[in-house]
Structure 1
Amino acid sequence: GCDMLTCIDFSRCTSLRELGGFERCAALASIDLSACTALRTIDHAFGGCTALATVTLPSAVESIGGGAFVDCHSLTTVDFSRCMALRELGGFQGCGALQSVDLSNCTALTTISSSALEGNRIPTPLKTDSQCGA
């Protein structure tokens, strides 16, 4: 892991298309990917980042794969407000502090993996806007 890493600046990563590899960065507290306008896939990126509390996702992301944010025990907020292109949702298993997600802007969403939000405090069944998956 990368125990001492506290911050990652993605503000100039406008050409980044896939993201992975920052697993078990124990001191990382927040991630803002909103400037990553070409980012399509997040997979096995921040799993086990136990201090990670907030995530802001980019508009172009299409897939959040298994393990993307698994076991981020402090994660309380995930901003999906820009995620109109999101088709597949997974990867938030074991985020015990996560109590709600708003997928109402995810109009392209067609697949939520059966274990996507397992081990969270989100009420089931998951409530989504009637437009999701349309």
Structure 2
Amino acid sequence: MASLNVGNLGEYLREQRRNAQLSLRQLADAAGVSNPYLSQIERGLRKPSADILQQLAKALRISAETLYVQAGILDERSPEAAGTRSVILADPSLSERQKQVLLQIYESFRKENGLDADETGTEGAADGSGADGSDADHPQASN
């Protein structure tokens, strides 16, 4: 049987809900899910979708990425990258769409610079050349 982190996710959600001093019903209402469904998630009987996890994270005011890691959707990343992602995701002045776009740009820069190469399956540009073969340190070539 494949190992799903559903039980760990449920325990983690319950702990976050209690830390936020919310009842099961209050969190279900805030996240827009049914009370029985949230109960099943907390007991490890259901594995929610990424959308539901995002709704729960928003209601709990925590990083959706943290829930994705707990659910086994994302692999845990380096602390500095996780910190940057957490800051972006926690910024209340950004819309969810803006946060996702920023994260995509951030990831593309990390890949271009050869970071997270083992996660992407691509080799990084450690020699300073850009993805298009141009010299990243000297973006404007003389004509």
Report the TM-score when normalising by structure 2. 0.24
Identify the structure with the greater helix proportion.
Answer: 2
The structure with more radius of gyration:
2
Report the TM-score when normalising by structure 1. 0.25
